Chain A
Amino acid sequence: MTYAYFPGCTLKTKAVDLDRWGRESMEALGITLEELPQWQCCGAVYPLAKDEIASRLSAVRALMAARDQGTPLVTLCSACHHVIKRANCDIAEDETFRSRANAYLSPETPYSGEAQVLHYLEVLRDVVGFDNLSRQVKNPLTGVKIGAYYGCLLLRPSRQMAFDDPENPTILEDFLRAIGAQPVIYAQRNECCGGYVTLENQGFARSRAAAVADNAAAQGAQMLTTACPLCLYNLQQGGSLKTVYFTELLAQALGLKEGAL
Chain B
Amino acid sequence: MTDWSSRVQEISGVNPRKCMKCGKCTAACPAYDQMEYHPHQFVDMVQTGRVEELMASKGIYTCLSCFACVERCPRNVQPSSIIEAVRLAVIRRQGGNHRKPDEIPALLNEELPQQAITSALRKYSKGG
Contacts and interface: CB of A to CB of B under 8 A. Distances in A.
A195 B119 contact: yes
Interface stretch (B19-27, B37-45, B78-86): B78-86
Contacts of A51: 10-11
B115 interface: yes
B95 interface: no
Contacts of B108: 199
Contacts of A79: 115, 119
A191 B71 contact: no
Contacts of B66: 152, 156, 191-192, 195
Number of contact residues on A: which range applies?
35 or more
A10 B68 contact: no
Nearest to A203: B34
B107 interface: yes
A13 B114 contact: yes
Contacts of B119: 44-45, 79, 195-196, 230
B77 to A, nearest CB: 12
B120 to A, nearest CB: 5
A48 interface: yes
Contact of A48 (B62, B64, B80, B104): B80
Interface in B57-107: 61-62, 64-68, 70-71, 78, 80-81, 84-85, 88, 99, 104, 107
B112 A204 contact: no
Contacts of B67: 152, 156-157
Given A49-B85, A157-B70, A233 B116 contact: yes
B122 A44 contact: yes
A222 B122 CA distance: 35
Looking at A43, A48, A191, the one whose CB has the most chain B CB atoms below 10 A away is A48
A45 B122 contact: yes
Nearest to B104: A199
Contact of B107 (A41, A199, A230, A233): A199
A9 interface: yes
Contact of B113 (A10, A47, A204): A10
Contacts of A232: 113
Interface in B1-20: 10-13
Contact of A200 (B113, B114, B120): B120
B116 A198 contact: yes
A236 B64 CA distance: 18
Given A10-B115, A157-B70, A47 B122 contact: yes
A51 B89 CA distance: 12
A156 B70 contact: yes
A193 to B, nearest CB: 9
Contact of B114 (A9, A152, A201, A236): A9
Q: Report the 9 A-B pairs with minimum CB-CB distance, sorted nearest first.
A: A192-B66, A44-B118, A156-B67, A48-B84, A196-B119, A152-B66, A229-B113, A48-B81, A195-B64
Given A152-B67, A191-B68, A233-B112, 9 more contacts: A10-B114, A10-B115, A14-B114, A49-B81, A156-B68, A191-B66, A196-B115, A197-B62, A229-B113
